[in-house]
Amino acid sequence: MPPLALDRSLVRHFADLEDPRCALKRRHRLVDMIVIAIAAVSCGADGGVAIAAFGRAKREWLGQFLELPNAIPAHDTFGRVFALIEQGNCINRL
C-alpha cells in the first residue's frame, strides 16, 4: 500500500461527517481536524494543545493529503469543534 493511501482513506472515511458549525464561521475543514487529531493521538497527544502542536510540527506532511486552507487550527479551535461533534457519529466510524 502506498504511504499516503491510508491517510487518504481516513479523509474519505470522515469526509461526509456532518459539520455542526455555522457555515460562515468555518475556517478549517472538519475532516482535516479529525485526521490531524487521529494522527496526533496515535503519536501520543493527550489534548487540544498537544494536537495543535503536532499539527504545526507535521504541517508539511499533513499538507500532502489534507487541504489545510487556513493552516493548522489552534488548540482552542480543536476543543470547541470536538465539543460540538455528536460523539456517537464520530465513534461509530472508528
> Does pLDDT of 1 surpass 50?
no
Higher pLDDT, 86 or 57: 57
pLDDT in tens, 5-19: 545 688 888 888 888
**pLDDT score recorded for residue 19:** 86
Residues 93/36, Cβ–Cβ less than 8 Å: no
Distance separating alpha carbons of residues 61 and 27, to the nearest angstrom: 20
Q: Which residues of 21-32 are buried (b: 16+ CB within 10 A; e: fewer)?
A: eeeeeeebbbbb
Place of cell 487540544: 48
Domain spans of the chain? 5-15+25-91
pLDDT in tens, 48-80: 999 999 999 999 999 998 999 999 999 999 999
**pLDDT score recorded for residue 91:** 59
Distance separating alpha carbons of residues 67 and 80, to the nearest angstrom: 20
